[in-house]
Amino acid sequence: MCAIPARMNVTHWVVTVLISISTLSPWTPEIAAQEPLDSVIPLDSIVVNVLRSAVGLDRAPYAVSVSSGQALQLGNTGFSLDEALQGIPGLQIQNRYNYTVGERISIRGFGARSQFGARGIKILVDGIPATMADGQSTLDHLDIGSLGRAEVLRGPAAAIYGNGGGGVLSLETAAAPDVPVRQEAKAVLGENGLMRFQSTTSGTQGGTSYLVNISHLTYDGFRTVADSSLFVEERADSSLYGLATRLNVNGQVALEAGAGQLRITANFFDLAGESAGGLNRTDMYVNESLNARGGGFGNVAKNARKDLHQGQLGATWSGPVGGLNAEFTGWGLFRRMDNPIPPRIIDLKRNAFGVRAMVSTESSGDPGEVALRAGFDLDFQRDDRVEHSNVAGSRGTLTKDQFETVAATGVFLQSTATLTEQVSLMGGLRYDRFEFEVDDRLPANNSGDRVMDELSPTVGLVVEASPTLSIFGNFATSLATPTTTELANTPEGGTGFNPDLNPQTGNTGEVGFRGQANNRFGFEMSVFLTNLKNELVPFETAAQDGRVFHRNSGRSTYKGLEASVRAVLPQGVSGQLSYTLVDAKFDEFSVEGDVFDGNFIPGLARNRLEGLLRVTQGPWYGEVRGDYVGRIETRDDNAAETFAKPYTLWDVRTGLSGQRVGNLVVEPFVSLTNILDEVYSAAVAVNAYGGRFFEPGPRRAFSVGPSATLQ
């Protein structure tokens, strides 16, 4: 059971910081050295690495978004990734306000099936994969408060990354400063018991850079409990369910090694949280209830929670080898999880490790030159899974005891050809093979193996129509295998692996453009068409209420449009606006005689519009954020009155940026989220049994965040 954080009244802190901001702003006009708060950077100065090579954004034949620096941190609490990556078209992050399952991250619909963690997309943190051999990703080890850069490849990338390559999210910790020591401290205090404290020590000495980041978060949540007698264990606060505590420790060292550079990363986190579960439509929209589930198979009565510990170590060396550029990466992790859910208590011990290597040729970018890249990825996963029936929060009958292994091998070849000064061609081919094995230790002995493989091509063309406008198009493939959890969860309740669950594959065609005008306006737009085969679709059953299973649909189609514009106006005014359309439907899908052909695929908002308007005057800034999320279907049959209603959220923030006070640089802020007190479903659980589709978001809430840097 996780520790109970003390709740607090944030009003005092809000008033204090507001007074501080109004006092400090005219007092010291000196601004600490910092990157511009609002600027449109020319496309040719932005270099992206998410394509496994350094490419100028203007030369990328795929839809790529980049966010860095203050765009990721300014005025944000560090509570959830959706704050930092707000406004990126094509990227949808459903914040479930439930640390036991994390955010549901999807790119153009890939990843929307996830019941916990992320599926269908590839995630890297500091170059080390957060996506395991089976395609499952978790971001518990990421400390959002120290995030320095995010690159998003908004489209399929199986030919580049293999499994989970429906899109790519590459995250980098903030770079160490070019000073011997810099000490930074942050605190965030907010309603719903939010308290987050962070310490970052970093610097560069003698060619060696380092960073050590420690953060601790507690969160009471907002899901209430009507009947405290439902609690399995006596506790001091019986009014809430959904509490969480999290400790993150991250370290990084970069130094010269041989003719290249060696970067070593290490992280550890400890998480304890309670899972309040989903609501039915009546509780969500009629009663406007925030009650946690109780009674029967309810989460409270079954002590649904997660206790998790994980450590990871990784190293990357890059430099010249025999006239080629080379990069070698090795990593390993351990993960220990105790996870009671209503029907089962799951104990999982995971060990995973992998190696990656790539060599490439140089290219000056002159017409007629071709740059080549070749390499391999080897990923291994070892899961020791034990499950018992959940009897009022205690372990009952042993239902599963098995050892699961995954070996993933991928080899790839990529090339970039400069056809003319304005035209570039990029192509690639990758072969992946996955071997899943299960050793069933129960008398049923459903041991066995599954082998899955796929050949994935891609090709893209980009034309620089002018110095400020690029037009691109591509054909790309996607691949997503079932994870070990999805294979192990069988609707019949047996052991072993589900023999009927197959990989999801797809093809995508895309065209788009990006550019800028007068150094004050940046813009981009792309349209895409994706055809999927064997889409992995989640569902639940009455026999195992609260457990998620998967099956394959026949064929489905995703059509969409993404557009964004950013403007820097006079008088310190700037803004950005992004729109995402994902029109996703089943083409061929039926279950036990029920035909779903032509239905919208559940879990996705067809329309989303995000905007930000910011005013900056000296060190002071104020901003308004708006987020419209359209209707989301929750069931394959699109039954009436089961969808999540559209909603619009408005947030406001104000604070100081880079205000120097003596040897300190202070950056306090105050935020007010959901200022109109909207009732909304922040996420949905697709095909949940009993109509429990809706995962509510919090009502209006204040946060305050004082921070100080000594340098």
> Considering the chain, what percentage of its residues have pLDDT values greater than 70?
92
pLDDT at 130 over 70: yes
As a whole number, mean pLDDT of residues 281-297 equals 85
Please give the pLDDT value at position 636. Answer: 95
DSSP string for residues in 293-359: P-STT-TTTTT-EEEEEEEEEEEEEEEEETTEEEEEEEEEEEEEEEEE-SSEEEEEEEEEEEEEEEE
Under the banding of pLDDT at 50, 70 and 90, the label for residue 158 is: confident
pLDDT at 546 over 70: no
Cβ burial of 243 (10 Å; 0-12, 13-18, 19+) is buried
Taking a C-beta distance cutoff of 8 angstroms, is the pair 22, 237 a contact? no
As a whole number, mean pLDDT of residues 28-46 equals 47
- Give ∠ CA 384-387-234 in degrees, rounded to 5: 120
Query: Does residue 472 or residue 25 have the better pLDDT?
Result: 472
Please give the pLDDT value at position 355. Answer: 98
- Closest listed residue to residue 135, CA positions, set 428, 496, 484, 558: 484
CA distances from 182 to 204, 219, 708 (A): 9, 29, 11
Candidate from 178-187, 267-276, 578-587, 652-661 with smallest mean pLDDT: 652-661
- Closest listed residue to residue 585, CA positions, set 535, 627, 630, 511: 535
Neighbouring residues of 514: CB distance < 8 A, sequence distance ≥ 6: 43, 57, 58, 469, 470, 472, 522, 523, 524, 525
Q: Which residue bears the tokens 């980098």?
A: 172
Under the banding of pLDDT at 50, 70 and 90, the label for residue 114 is: confident
Query: Does residue 180 or residue 54 have the better pLDDT?
Result: 180
Please give the pLDDT value at position 17. Answer: 37
Separation of alpha carbons 523 and 89, rounded Å: 11
Separation of alpha carbons 128 and 157, rounded Å: 17
Query: Does residue 351 or residue 206 have the better pLDDT?
Result: 351
pLDDT at 28 over 70: no
Strand partners, 188: 196
DSSP code of residue 407: E
Under the banding of pLDDT at 50, 70 and 90, the label for residue 233 is: confident
Quote the pTM value: 0.90
As a whole number, mean pLDDT of residues 587-609 equals 94
Q: What are phi and psi of 690, to 5 degrees?
A: 75, 15
Both ends of the chain: CA-CA distance in Å?
40
**694-696 and 194-205: which strand pairing?**
unpaired
As a whole number, mean pLDDT of residues 670-699 equals 93
> Considering the chain, what percentage of its residues have pLDDT values greater than 90?
63
Under the banding of pLDDT at 50, 70 and 90, the label for residue 540 is: confident
pLDDT tens, 372-383?
Answer: 999 999 999 999
Question: Tokens for 390?
Answer: 């959940």
**504-517 and 448-466: which strand pairing?**
unpaired
Average model confidence (pLDDT) across the chain: 88
Taking a C-beta distance cutoff of 8 angstroms, is the pair 431, 453 a contact? yes
Separation of alpha carbons 134 and 354, rounded Å: 12
Separation of alpha carbons 436 and 301, rounded Å: 35
pLDDT at 1 over 70: no
By three-state DSSP, how is residue 278 classified? coil
Under the banding of pLDDT at 50, 70 and 90, the label for residue 31 is: very low
Strand partners, 473: 461, 511
Under the banding of pLDDT at 50, 70 and 90, the label for residue 144 is: confident
DSSP code of residue 644: B
Q: Which residue bears the tokens 């901001």?
A: 21
Question: Tokens for 283?
Answer: 């509780």
CA atoms within 13 A on the CB side of 274: 32
Cβ burial of 541 (10 Å; 0-12, 13-18, 19+) is middle
User: Is the domain covering 11-710 a CATH 3.50.50.60 domain?
Assistant: no
Taking a C-beta distance cutoff of 8 angstroms, is the pair 66, 150 a contact? yes
As a whole number, mean pLDDT of residues 397-411 equals 95
pLDDT at 531 over 90: yes
Taking a C-beta distance cutoff of 8 angstroms, is the pair 566, 576 a contact? yes
Please give the pLDDT value at position 495. Answer: 75
Under the banding of pLDDT at 50, 70 and 90, the label for residue 228 is: confident
Taking a C-beta distance cutoff of 8 angstroms, is the pair 120, 181 a contact? no
Separation of alpha carbons 73 and 110, rounded Å: 26
DSSP code of residue 165: T
**182-190 and 707-710: which strand pairing?**
antiparallel
Q: Distance of alpha carbon 198 from its chain centroid, rounded? A: 21
By three-state DSSP, how is residue 227 classified? coil
DSSP string for residues in 432-499: EEEEEEEEE-STT---EEEEEEEEEEEEEEEEEEETTEEEEEEEEEEEEPPPHHHHH--TT--SS--T
Please give the pLDDT value at position 295. Answer: 67
Q: Per-domain residue ranges for the chain?
A: 11-710
CA atoms within 13 A on the CB side of 139: 27
Query: Does residue 127 or residue 114 have the better pLDDT?
Result: 127
Query: Does residue 613 or residue 9 have the better pLDDT?
Result: 613
Taking a C-beta distance cutoff of 8 angstroms, is the pair 84, 70 a contact? no
pLDDT tens, 652-661?
Answer: 999 998 888 8
Q: What are phi and psi of 430, to 5 degrees?
A: -140, 140
Neighbouring residues of 593: CB distance < 8 A, sequence distance ≥ 6: none
pLDDT at 107 over 70: yes
DSSP string for residues in 14-48: HHHHHHHHHHHHHH---B-S---SS----GGG-EE
**448-466 and 122-125: which strand pairing?**
unpaired
Separation of alpha carbons 539 and 549, rounded Å: 5
- Closest listed residue to residue 270, CA positions, set 144, 147, 141, 386: 141
pLDDT tens, 443-487?
Answer: 988 888 999 999 999 999 999 999 899 999 999 999 999 988 888
Separation of alpha carbons 697 and 685, rounded Å: 14
Taking a C-beta distance cutoff of 8 angstroms, is the pair 403, 367 a contact? no
Please give the pLDDT value at position 364. Answer: 75
pLDDT tens, 298-329?
Answer: 888 889 999 999 999 999 999 999 889 999 99
Under the banding of pLDDT at 50, 70 and 90, the label for residue 5 is: very low
